Structure 1
Amino acid sequence: MKRDADFKALAQFMGEWMRGEGPESDIAISTRIRLARNLADFPFIRRCSDEDRLSIERSVRARMESLTDPQFQAANYIDLEPLSELDRQLLVERQLISREIAESDGSRAVAFDPNEGYSVMINEEDHLRIQVMKSGLDIKSTWEQVNRLDNLLEEVILYAFHQQYGYLTACPTNVGSGLRVSVMLHLPALVITEQMDRVFRSMQKINVTVRGLYGEGSQYSGDFYQVSNQVTLGHSEAELLSLVADEVAPQIIAYERKARESLLNNNRDDLHDEVSRAMGILSTARKISSEETMHHLSKIRLGVSMGLVEHLDVKAINQMFLQSQAAHLQTLQGGVLGTAERHARRASFLQKQLTGKSDNSWN
């Protein structure tokens, strides 16, 4: 495993989950499956001493390095404790680590493959959080890969496991399989037609949670929503996978498609006007915030998916979504920027991406 990373090169790279490929990728941005695991020989993180956390990190790293599987040999391994706040935030924006591990203290790390298809967080809420992400709605192959990674790690790590209850986790709702199945969806038509409350209510009835772009506690931004199973206790892996793959995600995607069809048939001129206005603002603005950028890019992405914008594709919009966020923007610019300077640099970046030119320099 490589133990360092070129963060500027990382910011320029599009990971697998943002490539705009895979089934239903016009609406389903990505599929993520995460497993929560703990080492049998240590207390849960909240009861760990600093020495315990360091021992866990070193133990897991050594065992991962002992694996001969090519996926682990090629992985990047990053010690999060000495990183700057900017570098940690960039990893959050790329969905490689959670906000919780980025903002916590003590020894903690992440390992991820060069294509960013998987990451393993060490010393998050649980000792290990193993996750795989793929573009589009692709639960079957995502599950196969994360299950394989988990099996490889279990060959060299003794997990905390109870014969009756299953895998033991810091949060009781994760006990059992420790499985969280999550799909990130772009739902602008449901927002425009004011149907999201109905979606929220229907999901609550079947123990599915709806969160923002960065998961638990994050705000809804750019019409992105993450839907996932709420509990694992008392449910098999097959049941949880089927819940999201066969019931939840297809149902919400069908709602969104129906809403898009209605907008196109009944409000085409208004929709085209909204998309054109969004394009005009991002192509000419001298300063713009991240929140406003997400709002307008969402409209443009909808226009691309519905054939109203011909010179862009979903992958290009996804790249603008990612690289216009604060940590990516600053990393590509070479350092920390104040709020006003970020707004100006973001506007320049977007102009260049949309028109091929900008009023300010972009390095």
Structure 2
Amino acid sequence: MSTTSLLEHWNRLKHAKSTSFLKRNMTELIFRQLKDRVTFHNGTLLDCIKGGCINLDSGCGMYASDPEAYDVFSEIFHPVIKDYHKVDQVSHPNPDFGDINNLGFGDLDPSKRYISSTRVRVGRSQAGFPFHPTAKLKDRIELESRAKNALETFSGELKGSYFPLGEMSKAKQHELTEDHFLYLQDNRFLGDANVYDDWPIGRGIFYNPAKTFLVWVNEEDHLRFISMQEGSDLGTVYKRLVTALKFVDENTDLKFAHHPNMGYLTYCPSNLGTTLRASVHIKIPCLAGQPYFHDFLEKYHLQVRGVNGVHTEMVGDVYDISNKRRLGLTEIQVVREMIKGVEAVLAEEKRLDGSDTTL
């Protein structure tokens, strides 16, 4: 892209009404400092901010062109990261998933009245590989090959099959989409940030027969590991995910991009650090109808999404509630923070619907 194109995008954002973290933190001085810098993979400032300049209703507004971009363009990434994650400095502890055989938590909703399903996911990037804006077709194909070889070594509960998206029948795609398992090429925010380049080559999904363990390949991140099941047994879901990640680390050639101050590196700065999002699909019509709903979630560092993912609408009274903070905490701390928040949500819903017998 030319410098003129970058200036056009910047001028559009600069004069627009936008609440994105990019808009809130980018200044003319920072722009001029960064406009001519280039990463090892030829990533530019335009690659990082284009999506947020096109979509003025973006939340974050930024993506990294490649792992190195977080350092090359640190003058804008660091303020955005601190603003989003509500931290005073960009720092992150060493990974700590806790003792998975003695977690101290399990079923969040034994009554099965409110929570319909639970999932925990993490994003991972293959070290040395570019992200979508700077990736070439050969990069996507090589990454898919490496991922497929590694994933097919799983055994036991995690053992499954890999399905390339380009070879998947329409019927299979429909089935997996209806079950909320498969990612789609339908998100304008991701599309304008180059996530769908060369689609569907290099993309696919791995899952076990029970569909409780899935891995997305080359969607937003290089890899997205997902543990999920119906009900609210977070302990089982979390343990399954940690077991899978440990196996990959110890038994495969996949090596994940990791930064001493930012943790695991992902395409979007909102997912840095642990990259971990623990979520429940929860029916909370009373709380959701309150004017203080979003303030209540913010108090407990929770975020709400539609059940079909980010930028999707709510379905009925069911909401996707998850932890918001991923940086500056260990994995086990993130999960415990999410548990505290969900417990507060459940308690408030029960108070409002009159089912709290402690009153």
1:147 CA displacement: 0.6
Tell me if structure 1 keeps the 8 A contact 2:164–2:204. Answer: yes
**Aligned ranges for residues 144-163 of structure 1 at < 5 Å?**
144-155=239-250, 156=252, 157-163=254-260
Give the counterpart of 2:296 among 179, 199, 202: 202
Tell me if structure 2 keeps the 8 A contact 1:182–1:229. Answer: yes
1:72 CA displacement: 4.2
Tell me if structure 1 keeps the 8 A contact 2:221–2:266. Answer: yes
- Distance in 2, Cα, partners of 1:253 & 1:206: 12
Paired AA for residue 177 in structure 2: V
CA pair 134-109 structure 1, distance change in 2 beyond 3 A: same
1:83 CA displacement: 3.1
1:86 CA displacement: 5.5
Tell me if structure 2 keeps the 8 A contact 1:169–1:175. Answer: yes
Secondary structure, in 3 states, of the residue corresponding to 1:213?
Answer: coil
Residue number in structure 2 paired with 1:258: 351
Residue number in structure 2 paired with 1:183: 280
1:141 CA displacement: 2.1
Q: Does 1:216 align with 2:310?
A: yes
Give the counterpart of 1:249 among 314, 339, 342: 342
Residue number in structure 2 paired with 1:226: 320
TM-score normalised by L of structure 2: 0.61
Residue number in structure 2 paired with 1:52: 139
TM-score normalised by L of structure 1: 0.60
**Aligned ranges for residues 190-339 of structure 1 at < 5 Å?**
190=287, 194-195=289-290, 197-245=291-339, 247-261=340-354
Tell me if structure 2 keeps the 8 A contact 1:212–1:225. Answer: yes
- Distance in 1, Cα, partners of 2:186 & 2:213: 16
Residue number in structure 1 paired with 2:167: 82
- Distance in 2, Cα, partners of 1:186 & 1:95: 17
Residue number in structure 1 paired with 2:123: 36
Paired AA for residue 141 in structure 1: T
Give the counterpart of 1:92 among 177, 198, 204: 177
Structure with greater proportional helix content: 1
Give the counterpart of 2:265 among 165, 168, 173: 168
Fraction of identical pairs, as percent:
28
CA pair 223-40 structure 1, distance change in 2 beyond 3 A: same
Give the counterpart of 2:150 among 50, 63, 83: 63
1:212-269: per-residue Cα shift (whole Å, max 9, x none)?
A: 1112011011111011122312122122111111x21111112222333279xxxxxx
CA pair 94-204 structure 1, distance change in 2 beyond 3 A: same
- Distance in 2, Cα, partners of 1:215 & 1:97: 11
Secondary structure, in 3 states, of the residue corresponding to 2:236?
Answer: helix
1:176-219: per-residue Cα shift (whole Å, max 9, x none)?
A: 2111111110123445xx32x32222112343211111120110
Tell me if structure 2 keeps the 8 A contact 1:199–1:252. Answer: no
Residue number in structure 1 paired with 2:11: none
- Distance in 2, Cα, partners of 1:176 & 1:188: 32
Residue number in structure 2 paired with 1:27: 114
- Distance in 1, Cα, partners of 2:227 & 2:217: 15
- Distance in 2, Cα, partners of 1:125 & 1:31: 21
- Distance in 1, Cα, partners of 2:203 & 2:163: 9
1:166 CA displacement: 1.8
1:112 CA displacement: 0.8
- Distance in 2, Cα, partners of 1:173 & 1:188: 28
